[in-house]
Amino acid sequence: MPLKFTVNGSPVSLEDVPGEATLLEVLRERLDLLGVKEGCGVGECGACTVLLDGQAVNSCLIAAWQAQDREVTTVEGLAHGRELHPMQQAFAETGAVQCGFCTPGMILSSLDLVSQEPDPGESEIRRALSGNLCRCTGYHDIVRAVRRGAQRLRGEGSES
Amino acid sequence: MSVGHSMPHSGVYARVRGETRFGWDQQGYGDLHLACVRAELAPAHIKSIDPAPALALPGVVRVFTAADVPGEHNLGIIAVSRDQEFLARDTVRQRGQAVALVAAETRAQALAGARAVRVELDKLPGVFTPAEALASGAPLVHPDHADGNLLRENKIKRGEVDAALAASAVTVEAVYSTSPLEHAALEPEGGRAWWQGGKLVVQACTQNPHYDQADLARFLNVPQEKIRVIQAETGGGFGGKLDLSVQPFLALAAWHLVRSVCMRFTREESFLATAKRHPLRMHYISGADEQGRLTALKARILGDTGAFASYGLAVCMRAAVHATGPYHVPNLDVACRMAYTNNGFYGAMRGFGCPQVALAHEGQMDALAAKLGLDPLEMRKINALQAGMRTCTGQKLTAGVGLMQCLERIEPIYRAWREEAPAQDGLSGVGLGAMFYGIGNTGVSNPSTAQMEWGPDNTVTLFTGAADIGQGSDTVLKQIAAGRLGIEAEQIKLCRGDTARTTNAGATSASRQTYISGNAALAAADNLVMNLVEGAREMLGERHLEIELREGMLRASDGRAVEPGEVARHMADQGGAARGEGAFDPNFSPLDPETGQGRPYAAYAYAAQCAKVAVDPASGMTRVKEVAAAHDVGRAINPRAVLGQICGGVVMGVGMALMEEHRPGREGNLQQYHIPTAADAPAITPLIVEDPEPTGPFGAKGVGEPALIPTAPAVAAAVSQAVGKPLRHLPLSLERVMEALSSRGESHED
């Protein structure tokens, strides 16, 4: 079936998308957006998280046709050229990234959170990220990064 | 200078942009896709494999079996115990072992082909527990293995244990056990192979590219030079990417088909077919005198090593030499045995047996302290290893023994938590864990090598075979080299993990890369400086000029100064290059096979942690609220990276303590095997202790595995305190906690 949707701000039109194709498969295999990761294929790990109309979803659980006429944001759509998104910058500076496999999904879930709650507390952050697994960092520095990113997005300076 | 600064991880900006290409992301247009046909039952005799139904399907190009392997069938990291057939020949030894490999035009076609291959298996009698395996008359997992189903026994003997136990003021006898664990690195195994310049190139996730190259060459029966292995960016490993995974399949298919191929394991396949943490059963008898000084330890440890040896020999030996924990014990009789079974194979996982024995040695400390009426922290201080003392292998420790400092750092936190009022709505507890950990491989040579080059354009490059799997060795090695050269680490380019361009650094395991490859990088930097100085003398025409590299310039005693790049240009004009070579192998001696005495490691890391838990008496639900973790790392080359390792290790330890348990032979996924989420993770206070290691680069040791080891014992002790009964079997599931709550006040002995 044909699929028309917006990906990272650009209109995309695809032919012959199989009905059973997941959004994850279409993003990776048809659009070469390899920042979308597959960690489990069953919606447990959150590595495949993308924003669908601004809301964080597991793209391995979403059929591609569900994105028809909607807007998808992947990690590739966050930076403006060389300039990183404030949340990406915060993750990079804070030790929130070790192997980096969970990072794209982690950043997108964080953006979903701060779009709803611009000043999230520690427990809100932990709850919001509980669908995104990380095996490297122990989440300690990820929580710090989200606070720092949220602060920057509110237009406040960075805490030291 | 870059040593001691928290510079961001090398490559972090590509990671936050999603530009980093992991194993599976290497996939190229036109690649064939591979999928394994895996045995549904084991042990079993392979009666027949019929590829015809698969070959009749669209897109299926070829089906490979063991008959297509040109070289050695048995692969494995430890040369004396290579026994893993990546395509089973006659016998399937574990469920999920591959028996055939399908190559097809698309992944869906490869998976369909794998389902269509007809495999006829005749089930054979098997063994599924170590006790069964070691019983007389048990079916043999590897009939040609000399010791039946016993992979190895390691013994440690010192003094007179029975007499010392008899003379002890108190003794404690208890049995502890741990469960099989899955690494669950977020990236499932994946990679690609292709031909380039007459070589077969394999680019996959790995913790040890040079080992991969050597084993793939054996597998294909070709000289090593014919194979080039490039480490793909690796999304975590924790020991799970030390064994070969997709690489033999990629190499075999690309070899025969002379086409580019790609492959990944599904998460289910990763659970089924890759190594797990060895479950150990540990029977301990410990004694102490009236003052709380340890007198003796008698320990019998039995582990399941599964169907293949993998790292079983290393885990067996490491569990034995760390069985005492970080304490001075004058009389010892320790025996650790590993048995083959038909369970999925067990291998390396963060700590190599030490997280398991830590449960036992720490449990014993608490039990002895309780009997003596001593405070658990006091008990540890009384017995803590210190410089001048001997370890259980008789090795005299001379410097860099920071355990006491670790205990002192957590003491105020521990005391404050102990004095907090108990939670109103539930039970709470505070527990301790301590550890020591030998850096590098046990009682064997395990060298690393590195090179450095100063280019004519002033670029400085460090060449290392050390795989960075997310822990940060790229960053730390650059910092060490930069520290020696007196330049900024950012100025150094890295060439890493490519067998065509770098030399062997050994495995990213045993917390060894900072210490061993760091020393190799240091030596390469020194050698580079020496060669630059020689080049400068020649260029300046004075053979005996005193010259040093300072602030990025080669400065001569006569006041002249030249740019190293200019010297490099001069050297290039002469047909040479400004290069430096470095190597390092820790000073060790092998362990005596009967007594286990010797010098297994050149350096040890130390740590102490305390955990605070809350237990809901109605449900058994346990939460680790806080953990304080003090780690002696010698010197923190990159403090933020050290703190990151500590926090990551603590949370993995919480998983081991409370929730993680792999059922052998099951595929499973992260729905069945739970690892801690952000909501499960405790608040962590990571504390860095720096007691410099005289042989370490800038005094550094390692921290990757130590970070995990004390956590589970500390949590177990805290839960034991909360429920009023010692808990000695991990994980502390709801059922185990509820059972403990319902039997409180009964005997404390197992």
In tens, the pLDDT along B611-646 reads 999 999 999 999 999 999 999 999 999 999 999 999
Q: Is the pTM of this model over 0.95?
A: yes
Residue B750: what pLDDT?
Answer: 44
Nearest CB partner across the interface for B670, out of A40, A104, A129: A40
Nearest to A103 among B16, B641, B680 (CB): B16
Contact A104 B18 (CB under 8 A): yes
Burial category of B639 from C-beta neighbours within 10 Å (exposed 0-12, middle 13-18, buried 19 and up): middle
CA distances from B106 to B61, B115, B225, B263 (A): 10, 14, 31, 11
In Å, the largest CA–CA distance within chain A is 52
Phi and psi, residue B202, nearest 5°: -120, 120
Res. B228 pLDDT band, cuts 50 70 90 = very high
In this structure, the number of other CB atoms found within 10 A of the CB of residue B642 comes to 27
For chain B, give the percent of residues with pLDDT over 90.
96
Q: Which residues of A touch B651 (CB under 8 A)?
A: 137-139
**Residue B429 pLDDT level (bands cut at 50, 70, 90):** very high
What pLDDT digit, counting tens, does each position of B9-54 carry? 999 999 999 999 999 999 999 999 999 999 999 999 999 999 999 9
Say whether residue A44 is in contact with chain B using an 8 A CB cutoff. Answer: yes
User: Residue A101: which of B493, B697, B11 has the closest Cα?
Assistant: B11
Q: State the smallest CA–CA distance between residue B545 and chain A in angstroms.
A: 44
- Domain spans in chain A, listed from the N-terminal domain onward: 3-77, 86-153
In the predicted structure, residue B258 carries a pLDDT above the cut 60 = yes
Instruction: Give yes or no for B186 touching A (CB within 8 A).
Output: yes
Report the residue of chain A nearest B6, measured CA to CA.
A95
Mean pLDDT (chain B, rounded): 96
Q: Select from A22, A50, A75, A101 the residue whose CB has the most chain B CBs within 10 Å, as the one to mutate to test that interface.
A: A101
Do A3-77 and A86-153 show the same overall fold? no
Cβ proximity of B65 and B100 under 8 Å: yes
- Judged by a CB distance cut-off of 8 A, whether residue A103 touches chain B is yes
Cβ–Cβ gap B187/A129 under 8 Å: no
Better pLDDT: B741 or A158 = B741
pLDDT at site A153: 97
A97, closest residue in chain B (CA to CA): B12
| DSSP output for B17-28 | HT---BTGGG--
Closest Cβ opposite residue B648 in set A78, A103, A138: A138
Q: Give pLDDT tens digits for B701-727.
A: 999 999 999 999 999 999 999 999 999
Cβ pair A74:B18 closer than 8 A: yes
Q: Chain B partners of A89 at a C-beta cutoff of 8 Å?
A: 16
Cβ contacts of B141 within 8 Å, gap of 6 or more? B43, B93, B126, B127, B133, B149, B307, B340, B341, B342
Is B652 in contact with A102 (Cβ distance < 8 A)?
no
Separation of alpha carbons B634 and B702, rounded Å? 8
Q: Is the pLDDT of residue B667 over 90?
A: no
Task: Using CB atoms, pick whichever of A34, A135, A143 lies closest to residue B185.
Answer: A135
Residue from B186, B205, B473, B685 whose CB has the most chain A CBs within 10 Å, to mutate = B186
- Which domains does chain B show, CATH number per domain? 31-124 (3.90.1170.50), 276-442+591-742 (3.30.365.10), 448-584 (3.30.365.10)
Rounded-to-10 torsion of CA A19, A25, A26, A32: -160
Phi, psi of B373 (to 5 degrees): 70, 30
Which whole number is the average pLDDT over A117-135?
98
pLDDT of residue A160: 43
Instruction: Answer yes or no: is pLDDT of B749 > 50.
Output: no
Angle formed by the axes of helices B354-372 and B312-321, to 10°?
20
Per-residue pLDDT averaged across B488-513, rounded?
97
Position B666 scores a pLDDT of 73
Which residue among A44, A88, A103 places its CB closest to the CB of B671? A44
Instruction: Indicate whether A115 pLDDT > 80.
Output: yes
Which residue in the set A76, A95, A130 is minimally distant from B18, CB to CB? A76
* B581-601 average pLDDT score: 98
Q: Are B85 and B73 in contact (CB under 8 A)?
A: yes
Quickly name the fold that domain A3-77 has: Ubiquitin-like (UB roll) (3.10.20)
Give the residue from A61, A91, A98 with the most B CB atoms within 10 Å of its CB, the best one to mutate: A98
Q: Which CATH number fits domain A86-153: 3.40.50.720, 1.10.150.120, 1.10.357.10, 2.60.40.10?
A: 1.10.150.120
